[in-house]
Amino acid sequence: MTVPDTRPPRILAVASGGGHWKQLLRLVPLFDEADTCYVTVDPGQRTAVPNARFRTVTDASRWTKLRLLRVAWQALAIVVRERPDVVVTTGAAPGLLAIAWGKLLGARTIWIDSMANVARVSLSGRLARPFADLRLTQWPHLAAEPHLRYFGSVL
Sheet holding 53-56, edge to edge: 53-56, 35-40, 10-15, 86-91, 108-112, 134-137, 149-150
Chunked mean pLDDT (size 10), the chain, 155 residues: 81 97 96 97 98 96 92 98 98 96 98 86 90 94 87 77
Q: Is residue 138 part of a domain?
A: yes
The strand pairing partners of 80, in sequence order, are none
> What is the predicted pLDDT for the residue at 155?
58
Q: Residue 74 sits in which domain range?
A: 10-150
| Count of C-beta atoms within a 10 Å radius of residue 70 | 13
Q: Among 109, 112, 90, 91, which Cα is nearest to 100's?
A: 109
Read off the CATH number of the domain in which 21 is found: 3.40.50.2000
In-domain check, residue 1 = no
The answer to whether residue 88 sits within a structural domain is: yes
Identity of the amino acid at 23: Q
CA distance 88 to 82: 13
For residue 4, being part of any structural domain is answered with no
